Amino acid sequence: MIRKIIRRIFRQPEQGTTLARAVEPAIIPPESHPVRRKQISSGSRKVCETLQQQGHKAYVVGGAVRDLLTGITPKDFDVATDATPDEVRRCLKRSRLIGRRFQIVHAYMGREIVEITTFRGREKHAEKTDAHGRLLRDNVFGNQSEDAARRDFTINALYFDPVSEHILDYHHGVADLKQKTLRVIGDPKTRYREDPVRMLRAVRLAAKLGLFIDPEARRPIREMAVLLENVPTPRLFDEILKMLTSGYAIECLSALRAEGLQHDTLPLLDMALHDPQGEKFIQLALANTDQRIREGKTSSPAFLFAVLLWREVNVTWQKLCQEGEPPQTALFQAMSDVLQTQGEKLAITRRIAADIKEIWALQSRLEQRSGKRVYGILAHPRFRAAYDFLLLRAEAGEIAPELPDWWLAFQEADTQTRAEMLLPVANGNKKRRRKRRSKPTKNAEYSEESAPVNDA
């Protein structure tokens, strides 16, 4: 027991660890950077001011500061503080605790919800990892230097004070942004083992910000990509969704393939991109999505995943049809098979999976242009997404453009014109109404006419 205590006292930090000594930040004054308090959301400013008035440290932190330095408008503004969650709640009345393993606070500032996190440290002598080195427990409070050290990249270890407008830079993140370099804090191999998702983040941030991944950080990625197999599939789904909705989806997927990370996230992607028609289809869809996001418009996760997985669904669908399966049955079987294969690597949520299936299922129904069912298709809640999907298929050369052109004209036509546009129902498709057989009355007399004929 005494030996263990002595070893703990004199224990030297391992090479590459981020726990070593406290790091003093570089304090960058307002005249040396472009970020101003008016660029910070009013709710985040109010939170920082209130906490500082109560004697605490409080800063806008991480991605928001990074994006503002590069001229990008942040999606949200997170706050980091030395106050514990209970202390934050005492300072901010309209707030509540979130989370079990590591509690954070959500403060309600009008319609804005500000996420407030207490500075985090590391359990220096009791860190729990799995057999591959992934951290299983990393939920203790710490000081600001430790909080900066446990962040993934230098460009994310930035703290902006909206009161004084100073930036606190612990790991030369501002210089790395100017040099267009993405560096990992600490030893890259150790940090990737702790959390393999950091490899995906490196690819996404480099593509989004136009950065070069530092050679020391890039070198281990391909050989350590297999560690993604140990990451819970919902976490992988969240990270891939961030890539697809970043406004730089094309660049992100290209970088994902360049680093060999697609096998453990989107295993069907390679097959789609090896087919010229499939590649064109995906490129058209992602380019359209990127443009919409950059214009501040919304995008549908279901539509994006429907695009990425469609090539394999279409191939399986056609194969089953050739084997004699009815088209609709074959399509549903193909949909289930592909989503099951993808689900082994990436856990698509049930709600999004249901929307994906509806978009796919409507593709065969959109081929029908006769009868009253056409009006039902037009009223379907997923019709617009399915039509956009059909339009992409035509642009990629998968189907003739006449079909989406007809549906566009049908949408814009009045009631009488729509009726005239409907194609005649083929005779073979008409359902014959079954004749109702009249039941004999109870007291009906047995007659020769009603008796069965004996052919014997």
Query: In terms of Cα–Cα distance, which of 386, 436, 441, 444 is closest to 411?
Result: 386
Catalytic pick from 78, 82, 214, 264? 78
Torsion, Cα 98 104 108 112, to 10 degrees, reads -100
Q: How many residues does the chain have?
A: 456
Q: Which of 76, 86, 130, 405 is catalytic?
A: 76
Catalytic residue among 67, 147, 152, 214: 152
Give dist(CA 399, CA 139) in Å, integer. Answer: 53
Dist. CA 162–CA 51, nearest whole Å: 12
Distance CA 80, CA 416 (A): 62
Burial 34-67 (b: 16+ CB within 10 A, else e): ebebebbbebbbbbbebbbeeebbbbbbbbbbbb
353's enclosing H/E stretch is helix 350-365
Burial pattern 142-166, b for ≥16 Cβ within 10 A else e, equals bebbbbbbbbbbbbbbbbbbbeebb
Closest CA to 365 of 333, 391, 392, 331: 331
φ/ψ of residue 160, rounded to 5: -110, 125
82 is catalytic: no
Is 78 a residue of the active site? yes
Burial label for 285, CB within 10 Å (0-12, 13-18, 19+), is buried
Taking each helix axis as running N to C, give the angle between helix 301-322 and helix 276-294, from 0 to 180 degrees, rounded to the nearest 10: 160
Kindly state the DSSP code that residue 79 receives in the 8-state scheme. E
* 269-272 contact pairs (CB < 8 A, 24+): 269/308, 271/311, 271/312, 272/308, 272/309, 272/310, 272/311, 272/312
Secondary structure of residue 225 in the 3-state scheme: helix
Q: What is the largest CA-CA distance in the chain?
A: 113
314 phi and psi angles, rounded to 5 deg: -65, -45
Phi, psi of 438 (to 5 degrees): -75, 135
The question of whether 76 is a catalytic residue gets the answer yes
Quick check: 206 and 254 in contact, CB under 8 A? Answer: no
> What is the rounded CA–CA span in Å between residue 439 and residue 430?
27
User: Among all residues, which ones are annotated catalytic?
Assistant: 76, 78, 152
